[in-house]
Structure 1
Amino acid sequence: MRTRRKRLLLFLATPLLLAGLAARAGAAEVVETTLDNGLKVLVLPDDRAPVVTHQIWYKVGSVDEPGGITGIAHMFEHMMFKGTENLGPGEFSDIVARLGGEENAFTGRDFTAYFQTLAADELETMMRWEADRMANLRIDPEEFSREKEVVKEEWRSRMRDNPNARLSQLLYATAFTSSGYHHPIIGWKTDIDAYTVEDLEHWYQSHYAPNNATLIVVGDVEPETVFKLADRHYGAVERRDLAPAKPREEMEQHGLKRANLVIPAKLPRLSMGYKAPSLVTAEDSRTAYTLAVIAGILAGDSGARLHNELVRAGKLSSADAGYNLNARETTLFTVNAVPRDDQSLDAVEALLLEQIERLKEEPVDEDELDRIKAQVAASDVYQRDSLFYQGMKLGVYETIGLDYRLADRFVEGVRAVTAEDVRTVAREYFRDDGLTIATLEPKDDDSPALPSPTGGMERVH
């Protein structure tokens, strides 16, 4: 997930952040409507301060990109700030700044979103100009050429020169064969080089329509007032007939996959990923809630197993685990570790697999389960203090294809998980025929370097 100002790729990996995305969104207070052009509008009043967050979520992300233009969703996000028929390049951001507000945007695998947080009495101004971007974006060739260089520099600094990001990229590219999760959010370098204005214009016409978006407003507002403003500004944007997305179902895996990355790096690292259902793809939502609990058991806090039993005990330099409950498609449950000095990656793998096998064989102690559930409840309370995250909870659920009301059931779902659920789910999904292991080996100065599409020497087998 990429933020525009800080140029960050944020991955929803830690269990506590997952809890934050899925925690109670005050669903009983959410008021909704759908405009005639198909735009869904969700309003969550919160009058603790005279402030509002205004968010527009498009149901398109990197998972929707065909081969040859990977990363186009991220590139297009940049261009949304480069002017419309009514505003010059950067003028949208200037308006937000003059109003004393904050703005940003992010591209994820499953969505693209734009938001502003500002005084509640300036909401109509934001609606006017965000609707203008939805309807009247102008893609200037010179601005596009300059911004493509910015994206290429971002790729160099965030991907090519970041060994951990390269390893994560290799893990997903190896684990997923036909799913859109195969390629990185920022795209492959060769595709970035080949973008054209026509590619961007086609992306705009194919995805940036009111009937492919959700408007979310959280703050010191009256729902009916928001609906009238939304109809006045967004309602004037014409809906479009959008082609249904082609199926990108992931091919069945028939054995353990391995990949090795040999590039200049300070430390070796091992990443494991098990194919796992999300809340969208799980036949039983209890499975997804259990996987979120397992991520907490392994890496929820400093007392979790990976840190307490491996890192603090001096067996590993660092270790973590992550699971994205809110993915549109089958996702990965990941476990990562950095060895101690002179420790082999084989030894690291053995230690991590031992922890996985323990989940399958030994019932989790009730005190341990209770601690994880308490963490989730605390995160829920904390996240509700933020207007932005209240809106984000709603946006994530709606955009990946779930009813936003399900966000209200996350804590309840986690609290229902039992020790036997943990063993059952671990046994079903933590198997070799769903496992990919990627390793990073620092390259010696005198080692031969073989060119590859991602700029390093990689071996997959």
Structure 2
Amino acid sequence: MRCTRLIPLLSLLLAPLLVQANPFEYQLANGLRVIVKEDRRAPTAVHMVWYRVGSIDEKNGLTGVAHLLEHMMFKGTPNVGPGEFNRRVAAAGGRDNAFTNRDYTAYFQQTPKEQLEEMMRLEADRMRHLSLDPKEFAQEIKVVMEERRMRTDDQPQALLFEQMNAVAFQAHPYRAPVIGWMNDLENMTAEDARDWYDRWYVPNNAYVVVVGDVDHDAVFRLAETYYGPLAPRALPVRKPQEEPAQLGMRRLLVKAPAELPVVLMAYKAPVIRDVANDVDPYALEMLSAILDGHEGARFPKRLVKEQRIAVNAGAGYDSTSRGPGMFFVQGSPSAGRTPAELEAAFRAEIVRIQQHGVDADELARARAQLIAGEIYKLDSMFAQAMEIGQLESVGISYRDNTRLIDKLKAVTAADVQTAARRYLNDDALTVGVLDPQPLPSAPRPRSGPAPRH
């Protein structure tokens, strides 16, 4: 049931919107949207601030700046010293962190509900008053470079994925890693971070999500108190960034120290742009679950257990993103089998679906797995907040969540077969192989402090 709610004390200050009861939403005069979902099952609250900016908005030479600024957001304001943010959250009995994605940057705290006001005070303070001290920057950029070494340079599969994106995408910003290329990090300055902050960290480029044992009217009043005084600023113009059509299969080989070879196949695929009328993205979600949604799915059952051609085999696809999508197939061949044999086995399974479709039982199992995953999110306040925030970050209303589930339920076997035929073909395929090199006799010595995130 839909209804319209006004907050009497703020009716002159807030722009009222039509809302669907729980979640509730209002937009402040400065453009900041506040989305509140009341959940009374535990006396806690999740507070998240989402900025509509990620690595997709970076330019050549500045890759990694979105992630670097995420680190700098914990380095203090005139009111809160370096590291003090985390200490205050911990003292309030909560936990906090942040994460940068291709499409967004987000910050969260989960605390006892009585501490929500303090969390808003802290986040509003650093939304527009970050110090960005050059000395703190000089230290933190080293932390980020060490994070890149630990999580990418020293991780062969991460290197394969990074190189895969750089080959699969020729023009789109998705070709660059979120953490940035090392050379860009080495040449980044505090002014680069300051410019990024000034461009994108404004209330009209952000939204706040609160989930927990709260009253939405009270949350809106707190938002007006702490976020309301922040002035909006004009945002940079985002120009369309379309990836040119791929005109044939691409291949790459990555050599890195590793125990096993890896085969990674990535097909260009659509993502959801029209929740109500799209069909193929939902069918591709179902196809991914049919191939790798449970122990009895096609890849683990046929390639790992029956044929024993792979020690692991999986598929992955995300139907929501600001940029173009990819459907991934990945695995490692068994001892005595080659990457070429595993690639052929992957292709054979895909061709079977393209030619013969899927049966009703496996479609039902895959659907049950997908729907259960969506329902289980309701058990966690944090997961609920993430769901709202991630949908909004790619231009999908959180109110469409139920419709997304309904669309998954409506996927037919014919839809899955059609999507496999339409998108899993060589013209849209990039194949990457990890060629394992001898492992070092001793681990690389760390060159800096451990990364926080």
TM norm structure 2: 0.91
Which structure exhibits the higher relative contact order, with contacts defined as CA atoms closer than 8 Å and separated by 6 or more residues?
A: 1
Whether 2:236 is the aligned partner of 1:243: answer: yes
Whether 2:379 is the aligned partner of 1:385: answer: yes
The aligned counterpart of 2:318 is 324
Whether 2:441 is the aligned partner of 1:441: answer: no
The aligned counterpart of 1:340 is 334
The aligned counterpart of 1:455 is none
C-alpha separation between the residues in 2 aligned to 1:291 and 1:405? 22
SS in 2 for 1:110: coil
Whether 2:85 is the aligned partner of 1:92: answer: yes
C-alpha separation between the residues in 2 aligned to 1:99 and 1:188? 37
1:317 Cα shift?
1.2
Q: Of the candidates 421, 443, 451, which is equivalent to residue 415 of structure 2?
A: 421
The aligned counterpart of 1:19 is none
1:262 Cα shift?
1.5
CA pair 335-281 structure 1, distance change in 2 beyond 3 A: farther
The aligned counterpart of 2:448 is none
Matched AA of 1:419: A
Whether 2:218 is the aligned partner of 1:225: answer: yes
1:406 Cα shift?
1.6
Alignment of 1:122-201 (within 5 A): 122-201=115-194
8 A contact 1:102–1:116 mirrored in 2: yes
8 A contact 1:281–1:330 mirrored in 2: no
Matched AA of 2:175: H
TM norm structure 1: 0.89
8 A contact 2:310–2:333 mirrored in 1: yes
C-alpha separation between the residues in 2 aligned to 1:57 and 1:445? 40
8 A contact 2:36–2:210 mirrored in 1: yes
The aligned counterpart of 2:367 is 373
Question: After superposition, what is the alpha-carbon deviation per residue over 1:143-190, rounded to whole angstroms, capped at 9, x for unaligned?
Answer: 111111111111111111100000011111110111111011111110
The aligned counterpart of 1:454 is none
Q: Which moved more, 1:92-101 or 1:259-268?
A: 259-268
Whether 2:278 is the aligned partner of 1:285: answer: yes
C-alpha separation between the residues in 1 aligned to 2:102 and 2:292? 23
CA pair 445-390 structure 1, distance change in 2 beyond 3 A: closer
8 A contact 2:258–2:438 mirrored in 1: no
1:252 Cα shift?
0.9
SS in 2 for 1:235: coil
CA pair 283-434 structure 1, distance change in 2 beyond 3 A: farther
The aligned counterpart of 1:409 is 403
CA pair 252-364 structure 1, distance change in 2 beyond 3 A: same
SS in 1 for 2:301: helix
After TM superposition, the runs of 4+ consecutive aligned structure 1 residues lying more than 2 A away are: 280-285, 443-446
SS in 1 for 2:279: helix
8 A contact 2:259–2:439 mirrored in 1: no
Unaligned residue ranges in structure 1 (runs of 5+): 1-25, 447-461
1:282 Cα shift?
8.6
C-alpha separation between the residues in 1 aligned to 2:117 and 2:49? 14
Whether 2:341 is the aligned partner of 1:350: answer: no
1:28 Cα shift?
4.8
SS in 2 for 1:85: coil
1:239 Cα shift?
0.3
1:108 Cα shift?
0.6
The aligned counterpart of 1:8 is none
CA pair 284-273 structure 1, distance change in 2 beyond 3 A: farther
C-alpha separation between the residues in 2 aligned to 1:380 and 1:283? 18
* % identical equivalent positions: 44
1:376 Cα shift?
2.0
C-alpha separation between the residues in 2 aligned to 1:59 and 1:234? 17
Matched AA of 1:125: E
The aligned counterpart of 2:3 is none
The aligned counterpart of 1:395 is 389
The aligned counterpart of 1:301 is 294
Whether 2:309 is the aligned partner of 1:315: answer: yes
8 A contact 2:275–2:403 mirrored in 1: no
SS in 2 for 1:56: strand
Matched AA of 2:359: D
Aligned residues: 421
C-alpha separation between the residues in 2 aligned to 1:336 and 1:191? 29
Q: Which moved more, 1:281-290 or 1:123-132?
A: 281-290
CA pair 118-283 structure 1, distance change in 2 beyond 3 A: closer
CA pair 151-27 structure 1, distance change in 2 beyond 3 A: farther
8 A contact 1:39–1:213 mirrored in 2: yes
1:27 Cα shift?
6.4
CA pair 137-257 structure 1, distance change in 2 beyond 3 A: same
SS in 2 for 1:355: helix
CA pair 81-444 structure 1, distance change in 2 beyond 3 A: closer
8 A contact 2:166–2:175 mirrored in 1: yes
SS in 2 for 1:384: helix
The aligned counterpart of 1:271 is 264
Unaligned residue ranges in structure 2 (runs of 5+): 1-18, 441-453
The aligned counterpart of 1:360 is 354
Question: After superposition, what is the alpha-carbon deviation per residue over 1:178-231, rounded to whole angstroms, capped at 9, x for unaligned?
Answer: 111101111111001111011000000111010001100111111111111101
The aligned counterpart of 2:75 is 82
